[in-house]
Chains A and B, each alone.
Chain A
């Protein structure tokens, strides 16, 4: 397959933003969704109370470049490992970039990044930093994927 250069010619970035578990704090996730949309990305928001399996299914079906999961419930150490496990099981962990957001202690952030979460964006991350982070991470993934002949 012909490899696409990453830049103005590449297809728009598709992002799934999701709320996992029972936590209903959706102010942040909606700001993220809107900031990414305003930056020209295609954004799908799952709505609240999704399970890791539902999120991963939606990500695969929607063929997204990135999944952003927002969690303010403290359940991040349960949710992210499960999402990583499912992404790996389906063989898409290298192609779909996983990003976390919300309230979590520093040491958990370190553990999660070591596990494969591409970035954790805390509650005070400005919208333009979120947009830039997603662009950068997705560009890296696309380059790596095209080098490996996956896309």
Chain B
């Protein structure tokens, strides 16, 4: 309908002539209305900045988009995917409501999963306890006091079976937040699936498996960087061949942000890390289009709503260009960035905990306006401990209200075309490319991590943020402003079962006593052999070991003999 109108420059506000006149009008408006108004009532701040410390103008107009190309904005489901990975977005399918859960023994977590499914949750997400995340069995001395505390304990394949007891894994997607030990947990998942007769190609789910951000941000590691990168490569190539619908990696900015990065650093470092994985897998001989469609991402939704939306749009665009132009991807699916999103736990406060519900709702709205594919909303009590059942239900209801009451889901990328959001998207995109260039000059992502580059940038941002919070420049309601003298917001917090640790250790002892020891020894020596040859894929030997009920801790230690252990030099 609009082709004719579009060609008529006078009706096309982004046309060059119109833009010049807009710029002139803005200048004239600044000199008249704005100046007069400010003379009567000064603005509240000298300088307005986004979370990434990008200056914000008083108003945005077509003049700010003078250098923008329609090709960079485009349509949803089409390169460069600025507006979303799918053409119909939430009209076709609402995002997956995926509340993470995990505590105590596998049986306890299994009960929480069933509760969440009954409440209308559409995907599962597993949180493991610290020993499982770090590669220690529940009976290891490093595990004392931490078994089942922050997540569920999984030592051996029997635990994985119990975790998903009575849950059909062909029907629900399962995401596992696990990193240095991800390949072992994936092997356990495969063994459980095989024992139930599932078709591996039908399983959908994700392992986080993003080891590089661990050295930068979350700090869960076992082995040094290079062998760890090889393990990631092995899981990606394994899934490319055997698990058509499974995401072997979830490249995560979330933790980079929570560890202190600003939004620009979050997405820039995530893209740098992505490049490193893609390079590593391509080097092993796999074509980029054979695995890139299954790369998945994970970002945070922070408080600064409009910058967050721009951030999601910018990173989608950068990824598309990176995959096409740097890695030569041909398939559209290799260029479209799909992401899981979680609201920011770091913004939640112990003071006035009910306020956290509102914070989370607004952050979740940013995720949805930014086109997230799945979402976890934090519980109001997360500044205290892991969330209670009630807190998780409220968090899920928050998503359901956004999905079904607000109507923001009716059109794709509803903020696309906003002069401000488009300008900020451009600004963030430019910032990402700048960081990527700097990292390239340092010798690439791994070299930059080894030189503590990202770590230092993030420590600086975190420290500056803490000072702004302390000075009151960054307002946190209930903490540095509108502080209550008395606590009138009592909440019930999750109470862990003190017997969980003992029960889990007893279960592990039973498994260890009942397995075929010679089979254990044989599969461990096979694993060591596989690990010694950098070209061998570790997955096959790991799956055999898991089937023989070798524990995660045993696998981890066996390979530590070959790979060594990572030692950090911290910067602050």
On A, residues with C-beta under 8 Å from B are: 21-27, 29-31, 33-35, 37, 45, 47-49, 51, 73-75, 77-79, 103-105, 122-124, 126-128
Q: Taking the nearest CB of chain B, how far is it from the CB of A66, in angstroms?
A: 17
Decide if B145 touches A34 in the complex (CB within 8 Å). Answer: no
Q: With the chains together, A95 CA to B203 CA distance in Å? A: 58
- Tally B residues with Cβ within 8 Å of A: 43
Which residue, A26, A127, A128, has most C-beta atoms of chain B within 10 A?
A26
- Least Cβ distance of A34 to chain B in Å? 5
Interface residues of B (CB under 8 A from A): 130-131, 133-134, 136, 142-146, 149-150, 214, 218-220, 258-260, 346, 349-351, 383-386, 459, 462-463, 466-467, 469-470, 476, 479-480, 493, 496, 568, 570-572
Chain B min CB distance to A93 (Å): 21
B385–A103 CB distance below 8 A: yes
Complex CA gap A134/B144 in Å reads 29
Contact status B572-A30, CB under 8 Å:
yes
A21 CB contacts on chain B under 8 angstroms: 130, 142, 145-146
With A47-B568, A124-B349 as contacts: A24 and B383 at CB distance below 8 Å: no
| A22-B134, A34-B459, A47-B568 known; A27 vs B145 contact (CB < 8 Å) | no
Given A21-B146, A73-B146, A74-B386, decide whether A27 and B258 contact each other with a Cβ distance below 8 A: yes
Q: Closest approach, in angstroms, between the C-beta of B154 and any C-beta of chain A?
A: 15
Which of A35, A105, A124 has the most C-beta atoms of chain B within 10 angstroms of its own C-beta?
A124
When the two chains form their complex, are residues A26 and B146 in contact, meaning their CB atoms are under 8 A apart?
Answer: no
CB <8 Å contact, A27 and B462: yes
Q: Which residues of B contact A103 (CB under 8 A)?
A: 350, 383-385
Q: In the complex, what distance in Å separates the CA atom of A29 from the CA atom of B459?
A: 11
In the complex, what residue of chain B is closest to A74 when comparing beta carbons?
B149
Residues of chain A contacted by B466 (CB below 8 angstroms): 31, 35, 126-127
Q: Is the CB of A24 within 8 A of B145?
A: no
Nearest first, the 8 closest Cβ-Cβ pairs linking A and B are A78-B145, A24-B219, A126-B470, A22-B130, A30-B572, A75-B145, A74-B149, A33-B572
Residues in B with CB closer than 8 Å to A49 are 134, 142
**Do B350 and A123 have beta carbons less than 8 Å apart?**
yes
- Knowing A21-B130, A31-B463, A122-B350 are in contact, say whether A74-B493 is a contact too (CB < 8 A): no
Known: A73-B150, A105-B493. A79 touches B145 (CB 8 A): yes
CB distance from A127 to the nearest CB of B (A): 5
| Residues from chain B with Cβ under 8 Å of A122 in the complex | 350
Question: Which residues of chain A are within 8 angstroms of B260 by Cβ–Cβ distance?
Answer: 27
**B351 to chain A: closest residue by CB:** A124
Interchain CB contact under 8 A, B386 and A22: no
Q: Return chain A residues, CB-CB under 8 Å to B145.
A: 21, 75, 77-79
The closest CB in chain B to the CB of A38 belongs to B463
A78: chain B residues within 8 A (beta carbon): 144-146
Q: Give the interface centre of A24, A73, A105, A126 by most chain B CB atoms within 10 Å.
A: A24
CA A126 – CA B472 in complex, angstroms? Answer: 10
A30–B349 Cα distance when bound, in Å, is 20
| The one of A22, A48, A77, A123 that contacts B570, using a Cβ cutoff of 8 Å | A48
Bound complex: CA of A79 vs CA of B144, how far in Å? 9
Q: Name the distance in Å between B560's Cβ and chain A's nearest Cβ.
A: 14
A–B pairs, 10, beta carbons within 8 Å: A22-B134, A24-B218, A25-B219, A25-B259, A34-B572, A48-B568, A105-B385, A123-B383, A124-B479, A127-B466
B272 to chain A, nearest CB (A): 20
Q: Which of B133, B259, B346, B350 contacts A26 (CB 8 A)?
A: B259
Contact A45 B570 (CB under 8 A): yes
- In the bound assembly, the distance between CA atoms of A35 and B463 in angstroms comes to 8
Distance in Å from the Cβ of B453 to the closest Cβ of chain A? 16
Q: Decide if B142 touches A22 in the complex (CB within 8 Å).
A: yes
Of the listed residues A25, A27, A49, A78, the one surrounded by the most CB atoms of chain B closer than 10 A to its CB is A27
Chain A's nearest CB lies how many Å from the CB of B257?
Answer: 10
Minimum Cβ distance to chain A for residue B213 (Å) = 11
Cβ of A126 and Cβ of B469 under 8 Å apart?
Answer: yes
Among B133, B386, B493, B570, the one with the most A-chain Cβ atoms within 10 Å of its Cβ is B570
Among residues of A, the one whose C-beta sits closest to the C-beta of B466 is A31
Query: Which residue on chain A has the smallest CB distance to residue B132?
Result: A22
B259 touches A124 (CB 8 A): no
**14 more CB-based (< 8 A) A-B contacts, given A22-B131, A74-B386:** A21-B145, A22-B134, A30-B463, A31-B463, A31-B466, A35-B463, A37-B572, A48-B568, A79-B145, A103-B383, A105-B385, A123-B350, A124-B469, A124-B479
